[in-house]
Chains A and B, each alone.
Chain A
Amino acid sequence: MIARIVSPRVFRGLLPAFSLTVILIAIFYLQPRAMSYFGLNLLLNLALPIAFATLAQMCVITVNDLDLGIGAYVGFVACVSATWLNDQPAIGLLILAGCIVAYGALGALIHLRNLPSIVVTLGMSFFWLGLALLVLPTPGGKAPDWVRAIMTFKTPGVPMTIYAASAVALLVHFGLKRSAYGVVLRGVGGNPRSVERAGWSVLRAKVTMYALAGFFGVMSGISLIGLTTAADANIALRYTLLSIAGVILGGGEFVGGRISPIGAVLGAMTLTLAGSFLSFMRISPDWQIGAQGGILIVVLALRAIINRTEARQSR
């Protein structure tokens, strides 16, 4: 019984929650005042857009691809949200729907021509950045009031971010990990040929996952603009690397369709908190991305140790 509870599998599953807890405890220890509604709200303020971007990246990673254009894409969505969505909501929504279709089409293109996703999405990052500059040549714009109202809504107990992030994580968890079609979608990352042989369309699965990525990207951009109130074409460029780090931190693996939506959201929160942790430690912001890299390496090292223990046990 005890052996089952402390099995490497369970450890691996708990690793994302564990890293988040460690960093939260460290922050509360350094700054006890952070342990309040207001403190948590400030700490996790920007976690929601990062969590959405991480989920978008996770969708692409599920089918063994990588999206290096998600940051620029979220930036473009933010620019559209701060201009069209505010001035002419109908046109704004149309543009955003078009974005999701474009992402699906990108998935189809990558699959049909068997292209390296890294290069295609890196090229697309220029495309989105250019579009964003056309929409909003200089920083500015205004967030629609309803977006602002949702993002600053005061929920009882804990801040809105925590409710929203939990809800989204559970929703995606059930969609991808517990539904029948979710298994097919992940199967495309595991063994596309057998999925194809079993009569499922790999093309359809890839388009679905890319379109989902596009959808989460839209959510990320809109939630970001609700927090910052104004937009800038470069506002989310760093999300590209953050989202990849978040997925990996959350227990996602790069091949084989092994992903964890709940872990990804936890990973995104851990990375968001890493920045605050550094400032509480009075470490210069120069080391911010370095610390994120460090956390990534430590977590990956822990996972490697767990995997090795597992391999030894099964022998």
Chain B
Amino acid sequence: MIADRLNTLFAKPWIWAFLGAGLVWLATIAFTRGQGAGEILSAALSFATFSAIIGIGQMYVITLGPGNIDLSIPATMTFAGAVSMKIIDTQDSMVVPGLVIALTCGAAGFFNYGLIRVLRIPPIIATLSSSFLVQSSAIAYGRGLKIKPPPILADFTTAKILGVPLLALCVIGLAAVMSVVLHRTVYGKSVIAIGQNPRAAQLTGINVEFTRFATYVLSAVLAGLCGYVLSGFSGGASLNMGADYLLASIAVVVIGGTSVAGGFANLPGIWGAALFMFLLVTMLNTFGLTAGVRLILTGVIIVCVITLAGGRKT
């Protein structure tokens, strides 16, 4: 009976990401002899939040099928962070308009989809070209200054309830909602259907082009949201704040057990993978390795995880 339960649990594609995160965490606290075990988990939840937000958007895009990927996420994040922080100008009263503006930066998604549709170019090239433009706009607009967030946003993004980051709870909620959207709504089911067979999806009457459009916009809006809360969390918008998130957005999706070929998605895995990625870096830092060795190990572990995960049938 218990064996059966365990078997069904291990058959879930997302379980491996959580197991990996757990193992890395245990290795870290074994090294520190249990010191700071809670703090590490709390920090991991805080930092994983940001990869999880953009991971959700990237997952929807990747699920659309082979070739679909959004490379403009880091640029959109940076742009949304820079624009919203500059307009808010550290005034608490502007927090909500700032959020609206950050989400409006999801208009980058319109542009992405427009390029894909009008120029008939692969999404990789379309999102790459538009990310050049968006990044440049952010650089020209932000002028290299680090613009401080309003106090209320900084407080909200760093608040903790019994050691659990409030923002992480919100994003776990967001992931749950997006999971329902994926598996229970017409839109979500359309995304999965298109990923499995676009032609069949078209023939069943699904509006393929509208679904793709909505998905690229969704990804850009989530990137805007991430840029906004990350600016609040890290004490301001900076022009390289998106840099680390290109790998993160793709890696959390793939490590989380979503099929890269599209058509099969799972949301819990994104959180597992996001925690795994942060705990991995924490572990390598705790071991006191130099930057070079740390990067090498990060690369090797990512390639190994992908190799193992890629061979598994999902």
Contacts and interface: CB of A to CB of B under 8 A. Distances in A.
Query: Does B bind A?
Result: yes
Interface string A113-135: 11110111011111111111110
B119 A301 contact: yes
B55 to A, nearest CB: 13
Contacts of A304: 118-121
Contacts of A307: 120
Please report whether the interface of chain A is mostly helix, strand, loop or mixed according to DSSP. helix
A293 B119 contact: no
A131 B306 contact: no
Instruction: Tell which of A124, A130, A244, A290 has the most Cβ of chain B within 10 Å.
Output: A130
Given A116-B260, A245-B128, A130 B298 contact: yes
Interface in B147-183: none
Given A127-B300, A289-B135, A300 B129 contact: yes
A255 interface: yes
Contacts of B129: 245, 293, 296-297, 300
Interface in A281-302: 284, 286-294, 296-297, 300-301
Nearest to B246: A122
B119 A119 contact: no
A96 B9 CA distance: 46
B292 interface: yes
Contact of A289 (B124, B136, B298, B307): B136
B36 interface: no
B291 A290 contact: no
Interface stretch (B43-51, B87-95, B247-255): B247-255
Contacts, number: 144
Given A123-B306, A127-B296, A137-B292, A290 B125 contact: no
B186 interface: no
Given A122-B251, A293-B129, A300-B125, A286 B296 contact: no
Nearest to A237: B243
Interface in B215-270: 246-247, 250-251, 254, 260
A162 interface: no
B302 interface: yes
A124 B121 contact: no
A181 to B, nearest CB: 27
Contact of B302 (A113, A119, A245, A296): A119
Interface residues of B, number: 45
B140 A116 contact: no
Contact of A286 (B136, B250, B260): B136
A227 interface: no
Contacts of B130: 293, 297
B118 A119 contact: no
Given A134-B292, A137-B292, A293-B131, A115 B122 contact: no
Nearest to B142: A286
Contact of B133 (A122, A129, A290): A290
A27 interface: no
Interface in B8-57: none
A172 interface: no
B195 to A, nearest CB: 14
Nearest to A115: B310
A134 B293 contact: yes
Nearest to A255: B122
Contacts of A241: 128, 132
B100 interface: no
B145 interface: no
11 contacts: A109-B303, A113-B311, A116-B254, A120-B303, A123-B298, A123-B306, A127-B296, A127-B300, A133-B290, A289-B139, A293-B132
8 nearest interchain CB pairs? A290-B136, A293-B132, A130-B295, A127-B299, A123-B302, A130-B296, A126-B299, A133-B292
Interface of A: 66, 109, 113-116, 118-120, 122-134, 137, 241, 244-245, 248, 254-255, 284, 286-294, 296-297, 300-301, 303-304, 307
Given A254-B124, A301-B119, 12 more contacts: A116-B306, A119-B251, A126-B247, A130-B291, A130-B297, A254-B122, A287-B140, A292-B132, A293-B136, A300-B125, A303-B119, A304-B121
